[in-house]
Amino acid sequence: MLEVHGITKHFGDQLAVADESFTIHPGEIMGLIGQNGAGKTTTFRMILGFLRTDAGQILWDGQPVGKMNRDLIGYLPEERGLYPKLSIEEQVAFFGQLHGMRKKDVLDALPEWLERFDVKGKRTDKLKDLSKGNQQKIQLICALIFQPKLLILDEPFSGLDPVNASLLEQGIQLMKKQGAAIIFSSHDMSNVEALSDHLVMLKNGETVLSGTVDDIRNQFGRTRIYLQDP
Ligand code: ATP
């Protein structure tokens, strides 16, 4: 279980995240939403330990998130970073091994993942020769293949067409079913409403909404939630 208690981050005088709190249990999906600059990526980078918090605590199963826990985290960064000269299988094997998998196990599991996300291309194709959407799917596979206990996806739907967005939704649901705690950010409320058990909306670093999708719909007395709410 991931517990985030009152985390705050400044960059100089700029407040990026203010006193943010939430909990994600295994098998739960949380949507983190907000306009550009709201503090979503900063939140992820604090959970990942890439940034220090100014205040607050981040716990995994009751213990401060440390180096060991980070090995359990699958992360899709907003800026997509692949090694263009590597082949699909070299890239995924590299990430799988980083997270403690044996190369053979990665390569055995790879065909199923390529099929699940309908990746066009052979496993020996170089990443630079794939379309952007296929590259994004490979990066997702890198984040998922080692069955992370915590999955952090920064804008996973951006740049995907509706067919691939639907495959991604199914992939996220599968990870949920397998018991991962999942947090993802999006500007697109339809993805958030379809997938999230609960959501947190940030505005200039402040948490302006927090609760289940149904609670928030009821709060506004309508069936849709908008990024401009509240
Ligand atoms: P987007 O949807 O555009 O990715 P975001 O919600 O992920 O936005 P963040 O990237 O977390 O927002 O940024 C929150 C605030 O912190 C912004 O005002 C941003 O300019 C600032 N910020 C983020 N990283 C840094 C940094 N390394 N140095 C200085 N300011 C930063």
Torsion (CA) 172, 178, 181, 185 in degrees, nearest 10? 0
- The rounded Å distance from CA 55 to ligand 1 centre is 17
Q: Tell me the average pLDDT across 139-163.
A: 91
Q: Which atom of ligand 1 is nearest to the CA of 44?
A: 11
Contact, 91 vs 113, CB < 8 A?
no
Compute the distance from residue 88 Cα to the ligand 1 centre, in Å: 31
Q: How confident is the model at residue 83 (pLDDT cuts 50, 70, 90)?
A: confident
Angstrom distance (rounded) from CA 119 to CA 107: 15
Tell me the CA distances in angstroms from 160 to 22, 123, 137, 168, 229, one per residue in order: 28, 21, 9, 9, 25
Q: Name the least confident of 17-21, 46-50, 78-82, 133-137.
A: 78-82
**pLDDT-derived band at 79, boundaries 50, 70, 90:** confident
Confidence of residue 80 (pLDDT cuts 50, 70, 90): low
Between CA 114 and CA 145 the distance in angstroms is 11
Which residues does ligand 1 sit against, CB inside 6 Å?
Answer: 11, 14, 16, 34, 36-42, 78
Per-residue pLDDT at 56: 97
Q: What is the 17 CA–ligand 1 centroid distance (Å)?
A: 9
Mean pLDDT of the 8-12 span: 97
**Tell me, what's the ipTM?**
0.96
Instruction: Give the bridge partners for 10, in sequence order.
Output: 15
17 contacts 202 by C-beta, under 8 angstroms = yes
Tell me the DSSP string of 80-127: ----TTSBHHHHHHHHHHHTT--HHHHHHHHHHHHHHTT--S-TTSBG
User: Residue 65 in contact with residue 59, Cβ under 8 Å?
Assistant: yes
